[in-house]
């Protein structure tokens, strides 16, 4: 950052729900502590602004990934409140990006090419979608407005039912859906069940307190955050639990943190913990 006189840092992290759900320590290490250490490096290097690429899954999270992303937002909001920090921090929260790594679109394309079935977790599951150019433009624009510590939400339009997206992709491929009504169709849609930590509907705002921005597709969320002293104490506790691989304690800390974490199931999904 110093050598190249970096002015703006765009920082993301792990975004894959099952990956983090099954590897809790690494999820916390990368998403929370990775964000914190990168932000501190940016402060030390005199970086002008730091933009966190957040997610709609950070809103009332039902999984560890969403909770760690909400914690990373709180880290940056805490840093922004420090008197000794001149780097401007902001967070941009949005949903799924069409065609990105891990997106359902490349997966569905591959499944169609292989003759199916297309796998959808639940018939009613919905998600927000944007294209890569849309997201890139709005993230850059959001990074130029508001005060340090701001959380921005991108207008992603109406949520899309994943099963409708699957049907549309089958038809756009010149094929037909095979189901009870059309047993001689080409591609079947199979429902595999919700994955651990996955919820049917995503949200973009924790509350209804939002402020309009100059750009019509960007709004600013007004949400509570922790002062840096309290955030620092929480980070110390998280670090201790991670260092000593106390997954049960780590889960309690995530549940008690001000993130609204409400898991969809009881117990821990971490693979190493389950097979210790």
The three-state (H, E, C) secondary structure of the chain, written as one string: CCCCCCCEEEECCCCCHHHHHCCHHHHHHHHHHHHHHHHHHHHHCCCCEEEEEEEHHHCCCCCHHHHHHHHHHHHHHHHHCCCCCCCEEEEEEECEEECCCCCHHHHHHHHHHCCCCEEECCCCCEECEEEHHHHHHHHHHHCCCCCCCEEEEECCCCCEEHHHHHHHHHHHCCCCEECCCCCCCCEEEEECCCCCCCCCCCCCCCCCCEEECCCCCEEEECCCCCCHHHHHHHHHHHHHHHHCCCHHHHHHHHHHCCCCCCCCCCCCCCHHHHCC
Residue owning tokens 């590897």: 23
| Burial environment of residue 188 by CB neighbours within 10 A (0 to 12, 13 to 18, 19 or more) | middle
Q: Which of 152, 8, 162, 141 is nearest to 96 (CA)?
A: 162
β-pairing, 118-120 vs 126-127, is unpaired
Q: Which residues are catalytic?
A: 57
């Amino acid at each position: 950052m110093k050598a190249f006189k970096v002015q703006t840092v765009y920082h993301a992290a792990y975004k894959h729900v099952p990956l983090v759900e099954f590897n809790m320590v690494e999820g916390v290490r990368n998403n929370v502590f990775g964000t914190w250490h990168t932000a501190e490096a940016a402060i030390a290097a005199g970086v002008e602004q730091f933009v966190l690429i957040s997610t709609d899954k950070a809103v009332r999270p039902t999984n560890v990934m969403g909770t760690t992303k909400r914690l990373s937002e709180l880290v940056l909001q805490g840093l922004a409140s420090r008197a000794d920090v001149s780097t401007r921090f902001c967070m941009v929260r949005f949903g799924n990006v069409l065609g990105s790594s891990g997106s359902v679109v490349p997966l569905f394309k591959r499944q169609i090419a292989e003759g199916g079935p297309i796998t959808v977790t639940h018939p009613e599951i919905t998600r927000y979608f944007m294209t890569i150019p849309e997201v890139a433009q709005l993230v850059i624009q959001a990074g130029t407005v508001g005060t340090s510590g701001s959380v921005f939400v991108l207008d992603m339009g109406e949520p899309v039912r994943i099963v409708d997206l699957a049907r549309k992709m089958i038809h756009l491929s010149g094929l037909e859906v095979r189901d009870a009504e059309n047993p001689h169709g080409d591609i079947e849609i199979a429902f595999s069940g919700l994955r651990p930590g996955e919820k049917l509907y995503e949200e973009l705002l924790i509350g209804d307190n939002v402020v309009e921005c100059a750009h019509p597709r960007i709004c600013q969320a007004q949400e509570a955050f922790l002062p840096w002293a309290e955030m620092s104490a929480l980070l110390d506790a998280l670090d201790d639990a991670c260092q000593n691989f106390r997954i049960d304690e780590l889960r309690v800390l995530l549940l008690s943190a001000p993130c609204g974490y409400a898991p969809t199931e009881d117990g821990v999904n971490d693979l190493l913990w389950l097979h210790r």
